[in-house]
Amino acid sequence: MARPDQVNATNNAPKPAPTTPADAGGTGDLAAELRVAVMKTSRRLRLESSSETLTAAQYSVLAGLGNEQHTIGELAAREQVAAPSMTRIVKSLLEAGLVTRTASEHDGRQVLVEPTAEGKAALQAARSQRTAWLARRVETLGAEDRATLKRAAALLQEMSAK
């Protein structure tokens, strides 16, 4: 049974739920549509670059390394996984010859991980596969839709940077 403050006094119908700022102007609906579109696209891009060389986790770690050295703890924090999980990922990258491990000059207890030339090449190949898949899809669009996507990409990058 609805409480009196939840019922419209004129017709005893339930009051509509109060709108939140996210729902003003349909932004809640737009946010939901964008979330679904971004997740589906992201999932498809991961599938397009999946190979026997790199798993999704390995790809993410290699991308996070860039051309720098990082500790297991830094990588685990960046990827939001536990240190033992990151240790397993790094071990698999080591076995594949995609990263090296060295002891830190400042703290011998810390291990620094950096990509090898093979790791950089594998990352670049996976990125190229993803870009090629997306480029084939974009090619099918008209100029106006491509311009819209270009603006949307810029907006998404701005929003993600905040």
| Structure confidence at residue 75 (pLDDT) | 95
- Per-residue pLDDT band at 107 (split at 50, 70, 90): confident
Region 86-105: mean pLDDT is: 93
pLDDT at 33 over 70: yes
Please work out, in degrees rounded to the nearest 5, the angle formed at the alpha carbon of residue 72 by the alpha carbons of 71 and 78.
Answer: 90
* Segment 40-54 mean pLDDT: 78
Q: What integer pLDDT is reported at residue 162 of this predicted model?
A: 77
- Per-residue pLDDT for 146 more than 90? yes
Domains of the chain, each with CATH number or no CATH: 53-140 (1.10.10.10)
Tell me the average pLDDT across 51-65: 86
Does the structure show a pLDDT above 90 at 8? Answer: no
Summarize the confidence of residues 41-63 as an average pLDDT: 83
What was the pLDDT predicted at 71? Answer: 93
pLDDT band at 1 (very low <50, low <70, confident <90, very high): very low
pLDDT band at 12 (very low <50, low <70, confident <90, very high): low
> Measured at the alpha carbon of residue 98, what is the angle toward residues 96 and 104, in degrees to the nearest 5?
115
pLDDT > 90? residue 109: no
Residue 119, C-beta contacts closer than 8 angstroms, at least 6 positions apart:
62, 65, 93, 97, 98, 99
User: How confident is residue 132, by pLDDT bands cut at 50, 70 and 90?
Assistant: very high
- Rounded to an integer, what distance in angstroms lies between the CA atom of residue 115 and that of residue 100? 6
> Do 83 and 76 meet the contact criterion of CB atoms below 8 Å apart?
yes
What pTM did the predictor assign? Answer: 0.71
Q: What is the mean pLDDT of the chain?
A: 84
Among candidates 149, 139, 30, which has minimal Cα distance to 157?
149
